[in-house]
Each structure stands twice: as structure tokens, then as C-alpha cells.
Structure 1
Amino acid sequence: MRGIRKAGGRQEEIKRPKRGDTMLLSGLTIYAEDRLIENGYLVIDGGKIAAIGEGEPNDAGRYGRHVRFDGKHKLIPGMIDIHIHGAAGADTMDATPDALMTIAKALPKEGTTSFLATTITQKPEAIESALENVRTYMDDQPAGAAEVLGVHLEGPFINAAKAGAQPIEYIKSGDPDLFERWQKRSGDRIKVVTLAPEIDRGMELVKRLRDLGIVASIGHSAASFAEVTEAVRAGARHVTHLYNGMNGLHHRHPGVVGAAFLHEELFAEMIVDGVHISPEAVDIAYRLKGKDRIILITDAMRAKGLDDGTYDLGGQAVHVKDGVATLSGGQLAGSVLKMDQALRNMMRFTGADLADVIQMGAINPAIQIGVYDRKGSIREGKDADLVVLNERDEPVLTLCNGTVAYDRHKAS
């Protein structure tokens, strides 16, 4: 399969790696799935990880390309952002292949190699167009860009009292049959659904999602602790952007946050930008949930990577100033957070190390959406979704399925 991208006003063809198309990376500290390898090497063949070892292989000269590093760089698996609306001026709800391509080409710079295209509460026709566009795009994705792994359907089955930046006029009660129609429109691409279990037919929808093997995520919800517990029993296994868009922790009413802390079944997303959650609250969640049950997300909107200004999100004007995105009424409206910054913030706020944030940014999302057999860690046979970090934990080279998608030294 081949991908087409626009470059310098012309169409540039990027071929996907085939068996025999090889690359050798060496002189790296490798954060492999089962061990840490100092002064390690990794071989890529046909877009897959073919070999991992120490030093350099004896046949180093036979590979199509050899990139040597100085021993100070680190090789980690690519991050998986399972909650992102847009970047670089594009949004999933634009419902065009160019919009998804724009997002997919922008993300490798921050170390993200795959993602779930995330929708927002909108009129049904707009959601359906976005779903159909993802289905079409995924059938022929471009090489040299982050891979779309499916859809995160955020809304419209949420609680208006916790709408946040979700347009209230398009909110719906739980409707399992409508969801199934949308899932068919998407070509079975919906992987996560954010919903409020306490709304009319909300629990019924949770059960239907469980039966279909789709992640039911509690978010934009005013559920009580008891209602979240009921939802967990019904099959809920995820919490959308912990602390935001939900009842907070009160000493007599633990709410969604308290339930997220106590129910080990629940993975909890976090937007670690220092705005959506204070550093102290991030640390509290980390101590209670641990690295195995937190998933780092950006929840980014189209302004990510662009200057301050006014942008659109779900038909609403979003004002971005000094890295904070808000509606006219002051509500937070997604973020402009980049994933590499989320990793560094998480380490700074909590004392977690790089291996811990790899767990939260790559392994956990891969496990949660069922792609850990091919993504989320560095192991022979998996997709060559890889990120080289410098001494400041900044991405300098990103490969998506074995193709260079970002090279800091060549980036303009």
C-alpha cells in the first residue's frame, strides 16, 4: 500500500516498507518490553521489529540504512493517544481525509505514532460523516504518519450537567440501537465510547458495549459512587479525562473520581498539562491508581501546534491564549498539549521514571484498545513504531510502521 502526502506544493509518494527494506538503529539505550538494553541496537525489516540486541550486529553493513547514535539517546515505543480531537488546524469532525492526514502527519513530532480519532457531541449527521470518513481513511492510510487505530466516540450519550465543551443541544439519552447503527457506519471502527451511565438507558448502553467488546468509558457524568459501581458491574472499564467533566471527590460523596480511585477495573485517562489537573492532583491519582491503570492523553483540539487565536471545536468558538483553550464562558475546551510534554510533566509532577510513563503512554492504551499484540512496546515481531529521545526526553526521530515520520535534524 502507498500513501500520498503534500510536500512543497506537490504530491510526494511514500512507499510502505516491504520485506527486505531494512534499517539498523544503534548506540541507544533501548526500553524493550522485557528489559532495558544499554548500548543496544534494533533492526527493522518490512516495517516490523526484526531483532534487538546489545552492541552492534556482526552484519551491520548489510542493512539498507544504518543510523548510529552517541549512546546518550533512548529508544522507546511510540505513544498511543486514544483521546485526541485534532491538531495543526484539523479536527476529526471536519470529516475529510485531508483533516485526518494533517493530524496524522503532525503527531510524530511529539512522539505519537498512533491514535484514536475522537468525535464530539454534535448533530447525528455530522457524527455519521466523521465516522464514515474514518472508515474510508483507515482503508488506505498514508505511510510516514501516525496510524489511526479507530474512533473514540465522545458523546452524545452524556449528562448535560457535566457537558463542559460538549454542545448541550445535541446531547442524547443512551441509545444502544443508534450506537449500533453508527458502529456499522464506521465499519466497526469505534473502540471507546465516553458516556454517562446515570442518564436514561445509560446502563443499558454500557451492557451493549460490553457485549460488543467496546470500551465503555465514564465521562461527562454526574454519577454517584453507587452508580459508577453499578456501571463497573455492567462492564464499564474506563474513565474519560479523570477529574474533568465529572463529580469530584467529596468526603461524603466520593462520586466518579472516588470510584475511579477505588475500582481497580477502571483505567483512568489524564490530561497532564498542568491546567486541567493541578500537579498535586496528578500525583494523588498516580499514587492511588499506579502506573498500570493510568493512560496519558492530550484531548487536543485543532489549535495544537498553532499560535494563540480563536478556533472551532464542535461548532463553538474556542479561544487559545498562553497554551489554554477555553470557550467564551471560560470552560476548558480540550487542550493544546503535546504528548512528549505530557510525559515530561508526569515525571516532574510525580517522580515517575521514563519506564513508568512509557507504561502510561504506550502500553496501557495498547492493552485497553486491544492492539498490544502489535503495538505499545518494543519486541521482535511488533510494528516498528519507535521514538528516539535525546537527553532532555525530546523526540528527535520517530518511525511509524518502520517509516521515518519525523526527523528533528531535517525538520524545517
Structure 2
Amino acid sequence: MESVIYGRHYQTLLPISISIRNGFIKEIQRLQEPNKEKSLPIIAPGLVDLQINGSFGIDFNSDDVTVEKVITITQKLWETGVTTFFPTIITNSKEKISEYLHIILEACDRNLRVNSTIKGIHIEGPFISPLDGPRGAHASHYVRKPEWAFVEEWQEIAQGRIKLITISPEWGGSVEFIKKCVEQQLVVAIGHTAATTKQIDEAVKAGARLSTHLGNGSHTTLPRHPNYLWDQLAQEDLWASYIADGFHLPDSVIKVITKVKEKKAILVSDAVSLSGLEPGQYETHIGGKVHLTEEGKLHLADNPKILAGSAQMLIKGVQNLVSKGVLSLEEAWEAASIYPSNLVNLDVQKGIKEEAVADLVLFESNENGFIIRQTIKDGKLVFNSGIEVHEGWSQ
């Protein structure tokens, strides 16, 4: 069955129609109805979040996570324009990481649309720096040197779904570990690191491809040069992810990252379970008592200067970049959709092109920000706020 949607192309803002058949974009046509132009929502590629720890009160790293909760968070993410994401499992015991992987896998096996939305899993730790600062909020007693046997066991449990792993190459044996990951088609990211210039260079030569949330998970003070931030920026083969919630990085740093890395700079939410919840005081299993402000800043309850994670969804990061003039709408949106898909070699997000997978978002932009109106996954309408801009939908 064929369906048609109408909207304004996110790159040009000109009105178009998109015909969708069997989950793919079949035809794109320019509309010749100028009177409708301003009333139509913007059509853009579905968002791709490669680093999300949880949201809407659900944490992929909590003992109370269930198959039903993984399904729920996936459905809630559709409402924010995310059509593909990597649940992110952080530093923990080998057994706990295995347990969380089992739950995510079962959710994918139980629900076809969840399976289509979760295109990979991101393991962030435990092979990170043991030092205060670079380690961030990760539990120090679980941090350890890289061990390939751990990854083999996890990947067997996940049935090959682990696609991205964040490590610090400051550990002995890191080069060999990275090479094994690359042989198994795992994308290796450098993050939560205090690695030297030589260690970072060796890691990139071994096949490391990404810097995880560059500028965060680091010491509060660093030598002017050399330091591991400059070293990663200077590596031409290294992509960089960054958080644009307005609190983790100043605009000036984001401008430098995006200017240097260009289409290798990808936006991530790094959202925690409190994302999407109302402002107020909360108790968390990692940070303890925390406060979520009206502006969306999440900090320790007794110290507003110490962040307790990111509490904003990926769409908010796109909005922040555009509203502050850091990036254009096209640049910001592609940094949160097409670029991350390119990094991990996903076919799900190639943009608005004929024969591309129909993962699309329709949204409006006003003084309150970006408002998602519809989300389409594999050509199916998975979220609809009630507007009528389509014909012939089969949900």
C-alpha cells in the first residue's frame, strides 16, 4: 500500500510531497501550492541517537529495567522524533552488563518495531580511565583494563547487536583490543580518557573512529597543550560526538568541534532516566539526590555546579544549536540523523532521497521550540499528534 505525506523540506523549506511504499521513499515531488506552504510542517530525516542511557523515568542501567520498559521508552522516543537509537550500557560488573543486554535483546525479539528502532547497543565502559574527572560518574570499583573475553561474552548474549564501545586507550593492551574490535566490525570510541598523545595516536591507527562526548568526561583543568582534547580534535580520522543541552559544553567549544570535524561531528543526547520528566528533586541510583531545573539542567542537589547527567532529548540539542546560531537547521538536523548513521554504517538513515528507508519526522518550529507532529518508522506512522498531512496510512 502506498501513502503520501506533505510538508516543507528541512533543507529548503519548500513544499513537497513524499510517496512511501513498502517502507521506502518512492517519489519526491515539489508542490505548486504556495498558499499551503506556511501551514505545512517541516519534513526531516528521523533522528538517530547513538548514546542514550534512559529517559521518561526508565534507565537501561537500573536493576528495575524490564522488557516492557524498554518497549515503552522506544515508543516514547518516537514522540521526540527519534527513529533509531543505541541503548547505552555504562560501567558495571560483567554480570550486570550481561543482564541488561539480555533484557534489551528480549524486547527486540518480542516487538518488531522496537527491533527495527534499536539498531545497535553502545557499551560505554568499564574499560575507561580510573582517574577522578575522566571517569565521570562511572563507578570506580567496576573500572578495569580492556578484556576481549568480556566483549565476546556480551556480544554472544546480544546476538551481535553491540555496535559501539567506548574505551580509554591509556590501558596496556589497548591497541590489540581495538584491533580485535575492528575485526569484528565494532566501532571503537575513545572516551572517559586521560590518554597521552602517543596513546591516542596509536588507538586511531589501530582503528578507533570516534571521540565519545568530546569535552566531557575529563579533568576540570588541563595543560594548555598538549592534552587529550587537542589530540583528539587534531586526529583527522577521528569523529566526535558532543552534547548540546546548553550545560555540558559552551557554544564556543561546540563551534570549534563542528568547524574542525564538519560532517564527522555528531550530536548525541547522553540522556539519563530523568529526561522528559517534570522539574524537581529526584533520587537516583548513581548521583543520589539531584535537582532538575526549569531550564533542563540536572545537577547534584547540594552543588549546582556539578552536573548529574544530561536531562534533555536529542531534539532539544538540535533546537539549541539552531536557536543560538551555532548551526543552521540543515546542519544541526543532519548532525543528529544522517551523520551518526554514516558513522556506524546504518542503512536506516540516508535522508530524504528516493529509495531511502522512510524514517521521517514532521515538526513545527515556533517560539516554544520544535514540536513533533508525526514520526514515521519504516514507512509506518508510529506517532501522530493529530494533524492531517497524509493520505492512505496503514499503521
- Is the Cα–Cα contact under 8 Å of residues 75 and 387 in structure 1 kept in the other structure? yes
- Is the Cα–Cα contact under 8 Å of residues 136 and 218 in structure 2 kept in the other structure? no
Q: Are 1:205 and 2:177 an aligned pair?
A: yes
Residue of structure 2 aligned with 1:91, choices 37, 59, 69: 59
Q: CA deviation at 1:56?
A: 7.7
- Give the stretch that moved more between structures: 225-234 or 251-260: 251-260
User: What is the SS of the residue equivalent to 2:79?
Assistant: helix
Q: CA deviation at 1:72?
A: 4.4
Provide structure 2 residue ranges, at least 5 long, that are not aligned to the other structure.
388-395
**Which residue number corresponds to residue 130 of structure 1?**
100
Residue of structure 2 aligned with 1:325, choices 294, 298, 317: 298
Task: Give the Cα separation in 2 of the matches to 1:223 and 1:349.
Answer: 33
Q: Are 1:400 and 2:373 an aligned pair?
A: no
Task: Give the Cα separation in 2 of the matches to 1:206 and 1:247.
Answer: 24
Name the CA shift for 1:357/1:155 in 2 (closer, same or farther; >3 Å): same
Task: Give the Cα separation in 2 of the matches to 1:206 and 1:144.
Answer: 30
Name the CA shift for 1:364/1:91 in 2 (closer, same or farther; >3 Å): same
**Which residue number corresponds to residue 311 of structure 2?**
336
- Is the Cα–Cα contact under 8 Å of residues 101 and 142 in structure 1 kept in the other structure? no
Aligned partner of 1:239: which letter? S
**Which residue number corresponds to residue 375 of structure 1?**
349
- Is the Cα–Cα contact under 8 Å of residues 31 and 378 in structure 1 kept in the other structure? no
Name the CA shift for 1:79/1:204 in 2 (closer, same or farther; >3 Å): same
Task: Give the Cα separation in 2 of the matches to 1:174 and 1:29.
Answer: 48
Aligned partner of 1:304: which letter? S
CA RMSD of aligned residues (A): 2.5
Q: Percent identity?
A: 27
Residue of structure 1 aligned with 2:23, choices 12, 33, 47: 47
- Is the Cα–Cα contact under 8 Å of residues 240 and 265 in structure 2 kept in the other structure? yes
Aligned partner of 1:75: which letter? I
Q: CA deviation at 1:135?
A: 2.0
- Pairing of 1:18-33 with structure 2 (within 5 A): 20=1, 22-26=2-6, 28-31=7-10
- Deviation string, structure 1 residues 13-56 (Cα, Å, up to 9, x no partner): xxxxxxx2x32112x22247xxx472210012233222211128
Residue of structure 1 aligned with 2:130, choices 156, 160, 183: 160
Task: Give the Cα separation in 2 of the matches to 1:98 and 1:56.
Answer: 45
Aligned partner of 2:4: which letter? L
Name the CA shift for 1:251/1:309 in 2 (closer, same or farther; >3 Å): closer
Task: Give the Cα separation in 2 of the matches to 1:183 and 1:365.
Answer: 21
Aligned partner of 1:29: which letter? R
- Deviation string, structure 1 residues 180-223 (Cα, Å, up to 9, x no partner): 11111110111110111112332222121111111110111111
- Is the Cα–Cα contact under 8 Å of residues 120 and 156 in structure 1 kept in the other structure? yes
Name the CA shift for 1:211/1:246 in 2 (closer, same or farther; >3 Å): farther
Q: Are 1:266 and 2:245 an aligned pair?
A: no
Residue of structure 1 aligned with 2:275, choices 304, 307, 311: 304
- Give the stretch that moved more between structures: 256-265 or 93-102: 93-102
**Which residue number corresponds to residue 3 of structure 1?**
none
- Deviation string, structure 1 residues 303-338 (Cα, Å, up to 9, x no partner): 11112232435x552513212334578543321112
**Which residue number corresponds to residue 6 of structure 1?**
none
Q: Are 1:151 and 2:126 an aligned pair?
A: no
Name the CA shift for 1:124/1:174 in 2 (closer, same or farther; >3 Å): same
Task: Give the Cα separation in 1 of the matches to 2:302 and 2:177.
Answer: 31
Q: CA deviation at 1:79?
A: 0.6
After TM superposition, the score normalised by the length of structure 1 is 0.84
Q: CA deviation at 1:353?
A: 1.0
Aligned partner of 1:198: which letter? E
- Give the stretch that moved more between structures: 196-205 or 111-120: 196-205
4+ aligned runs moved over 4 Å, structure 1: 68-72, 247-252, 327-331
**Which residue number corresponds to residue 101 of structure 1?**
71
Name the CA shift for 1:388/1:40 in 2 (closer, same or farther; >3 Å): same
Task: Give the Cα separation in 1 of the matches to 2:179 and 2:236.
Answer: 19
Q: CA deviation at 1:93?
A: 2.3
More relative contact order in 1 or in 2 (CA 8 Å, sep 6+)? 2
Residue of structure 2 aligned with 1:357, choices 332, 346, 357: 332
Aligned partner of 1:229: which letter? D
- Deviation string, structure 1 residues 49-72 (Cα, Å, up to 9, x no partner): 222111289xxxxxxxxxx87554
**Which residue number corresponds to residue 228 of structure 2?**
256
